[in-house]
Amino acid sequence: MPIRRFGGHRSLVSHSQTPKLSYGYTKMNISRSGYRVFSANSTTACTELAKKITERLGVELGKSVVYQESNSETRVDVKESVRGQDIFIIQTIPRDVNTAIMELLVMAYALKTSCANNIIGVIPYFPYSKQCKMRKRGSIVCKLLASMLAKAGLTHIITMDLHQKEIQGFFSFPVDNLRASPFLIQYIQEEIPDYRNAIIVAKSPSAAKRAQSYAERLRLGLAVMHGEAHHSESDMADGRHSPPLSRTTTGHTGLELPLMMAKEKPPITVVGDVGGRIAIIVDDIIDDVEDFVAAAEILKERGAYKIYIMATHGLLSAEAPRLIEESAIDEVVVTNTVPHEVQKLQCPKIKTVDVSMILAEAIRRIHNGESMAYLFRNIAVDD
């Protein structure tokens, strides 16, 4: 039993009466069980999705400042303690893709050096996802970006509708690839009058699996477009055709390898009857819209009386709003994974579906250690 002195007198104090000095340990444990949500971009257009997510979670957006210095260097100032907490960084990708990537990297490293427990990147549209295959003497930029994010300190990523699902294999940490199709299917059912008279269209054979998934869930027919108007990404020359076939050979000339014949696409055709139907073209990304405009013209010629475009990521670069407005397309429906408010002002045909609900639920489940299976229910391997 400890002995305590009071003015020269000794008194016995039991262990139950000994005062305990916590030094804030209890409070620290409470903070370690919490989480914070930050936006890696301070512009209004890019923080809109982050604000919607935090409103659904019932938390405040983390205090930070992200800005470009006069020499175009990115600087991040985190204005609150993140020690021992789970940190979620929301980064939507505006038109300046490379700046957005640097903002994410610098913020992740700043949080890592501030002793954050886990750093989870919420990147609804993953940039450079189209550069996931070898092209002649190019590089697989998507894999490079995955390595950079891991080096900066990210321990987990939440994204949506990767251009190729195999991209998940580039990462050394978990990746949750959420789907936007339930929200787009709900839009079709609620916002397209007489949608049961519609037909789902794949504007190229490579998009047929996605279109088939929509058609089976909506109990609708399927049409596939094929022809010279669309230059599929799979038709581009990749590393298997490098180095070029025509070259000066200084070595042994007796070896004759069979020469692969060049592809020649037939005139554009539509496999499936679209006459008197509503045509709904589905894809994951809509960026340069020339292919979609050409597809819409063909579908109109084949008798479709309304044409909708449904896509997860609405990049809508360059002259896309003007081309859509002047085309036979009736409506373009995209999610808010990418800021496109300016494009909507230029073209009233562009509509937005909010996916902040599923992103907020993913954040909640990851922080609480709950299963993510609920968010992937009824999602097949090919979806």
**DSSP string for 92-109:** ---S-HHHHHHHHHHHHH
Q: Which of residues 382 and 73 earns the better pLDDT score?
A: 73
**Cα separation of 81 and 117, whole Å?**
12
**Cα separation of 51 and 58, whole Å?**
10
Cite the DSSP H helix spans in the chain: 25-32, 44-57, 97-113, 141-152, 181-191, 208-218, 290-301, 320-325, 341-346, 356-368
Length of the chain: 383
Q: Which amino acid is residue 352, in one-letter code?
A: T
Q: Give the pLDDT confidence of 259-311 residue by residue, as tens digits.
A: 877 777 777 889 999 999 999 999 999 998 999 999 999 999 999 999 999 99
Task: Give the pLDDT of residue 194.
Answer: 93
Residue 320 tokens, joined: 């896309």
- 224 bridge partner residues: 202, 271
Confidence of residue 253 (pLDDT cuts 50, 70, 90): low
Q: Which residues contact 304 (CB under 8 A, 6 or more apart)?
A: 199, 274, 275, 276, 277, 278, 279
Kindly give the pairing relationship between strand 331-335 and strand 350-353.
Answer: parallel
Task: Give the pLDDT of residue 225.
Answer: 94
Q: Please say whether the beta carbons of 100 and 93 come within 8 A.
A: yes
Three-state SS string over 111-165 comes to HHHCCCCEEEEEECCCCCCCCCCCCCCCCCHHHHHHHHHHHHCCCEEEEECCCCH
Kindly give the pairing relationship between strand 278-286 and strand 306-314.
Answer: parallel
Task: Tell me how far CA of residue 222 lies from CA of 50, 206, 211, 308, in angstroms.
Answer: 36, 14, 7, 14
pLDDT beyond 50 at 13? no
**Cis previous bond, 243, omega within 30:** yes
Task: Give the pLDDT of residue 250.
Answer: 53
Question: What distance, in Å, lies between the first and last C-alpha atoms of the chain?
Answer: 68
Task: Give the pLDDT of residue 87.
Answer: 97
Among the listed residues 138, 178, 184, 136, the one whose alpha carbon sits nearest the alpha carbon of residue 161:
178
- Least confident residue range of 12-26, 71-85, 213-227, 323-337: 12-26
Task: Give the pLDDT of residue 252.
Answer: 57
Q: Please say whether the beta carbons of 123 and 91 come within 8 A.
A: yes
**Cα separation of 247 and 365, whole Å?**
57
**Cα separation of 209 and 207, whole Å?**
6
The greatest distance separating any two alpha carbons of the chain, rounded to the nearest whole angstrom, comes to: 109
Mean pLDDT of the region 225-231: 68
Task: Give the pLDDT of residue 82.
Answer: 95
**Cα separation of 75 and 68, whole Å?**
6
Confidence of residue 19 (pLDDT cuts 50, 70, 90): very low
**Cα separation of 311 and 287, whole Å?**
10
Q: Which residues contact 328 (CB under 8 A, 6 or more apart)?
A: 293, 296, 297, 299, 300, 307
pLDDT beyond 70 at 18? no
Task: Give the pLDDT of residue 230.
Answer: 45
Domains assigned to the chain: 36-178 (3.40.50.2020), 182-229+267-353 (3.40.50.2020)
Binning the chain into helix, strand and coil, the percentages to the nearest 5 are 35, 20, 45
Among the listed residues 76, 148, 145, the one whose alpha carbon sits nearest the alpha carbon of residue 114:
76
pLDDT beyond 50 at 26? no
Q: What secondary structure letter does DSSP report for 192?
A: S
Q: What secondary structure letter does DSSP report for 377?
A: T
Q: Please say whether the beta carbons of 314 and 162 come within 8 A.
A: no
**Cα separation of 120 and 366, whole Å?**
9
Q: Which of residues 262 and 317 earns the better pLDDT score?
A: 317
Kindly give the pairing relationship between strand 278-286 and strand 331-335.
Answer: unpaired
Q: Please say whether the beta carbons of 155 and 119 come within 8 A.
A: yes
